[in-house]
Amino acid sequence: MGERRAEDRVRPPVSDRVLTTPNALTVTRILLVPVFLWLLLGRRDELAAFWVLAASAATDWLDGAMARRFGLVSRLGQLLDPVADRLFVLSTLAGLLLAGIVPWWFVVALLARDFWGVTELLRLRGRGLRRLPVTFVGKAATFCLLSAFPLLLLGHAVSGLAAGIVRSVGWAFGWWGLGLYWVSAIMYYVQAQQVVRQDPR
């Protein structure tokens, strides 16, 4: 009983509420995707695109922190948040690639990880798994990537010594994000093999 109460304190209850501030922030992050792409590729305003991208990245941290702090964790939020993360990462990668800010091999390495995740999930749907579990490593990878993208964009928008420093920090986050992204894939694979052993159909 004591262990169960301790677990309840660590994991806030999940509600069926839809209209919550964290959910609104997640939806805002999704809606800012076309705004970012228009500013970067349409208007070619890299500095304005940076501020939109930075605001979008901030909502990823803020919605989760608010949900846990104020007990606003919801099933809709658990569904929307990873979707918003993937949409944000993929659209930002596409924009930065087309703008010549990130190389194609970096994009391919990240897309290959996402492609593997989709195929693995399709393989396990017959065994009752509807989505890949969210792990700390996966969230850390997303945090690094969401930090890297605005910094790489800012390093391209400014000039001089500051540009070199910002780009270096941005690529540091980018390399960490890419590495952790694939580490989380390995962790998902190990968990998937456990599912297969439990249900070898």
Residues in the chain: 201
> What local confidence, expressed as pLDDT, does residue 107 receive?
93
Residue 45, phi-psi category: left (phi > 0), alpha (psi -120 to 50), beta (remainder) = beta
For 46-71, the pLDDT digits (tens) are 999 999 988 888 887 787 777 777 77
Q: pLDDT higher for 12 or 30? A: 30
CATH number, domain at 173? 1.20.120
What is the reported pTM?
0.76
Residue type, 95: G
Higher pLDDT, 64 or 36: 36
Helices (H), 12-103: 21-37, 46-69, 75-98
Please give the DSSP secondary-structure letter assigned to residue 38. Answer: I
**What total of structural domains would you count in the chain?**
1
Host domain of residue 33: 2-198
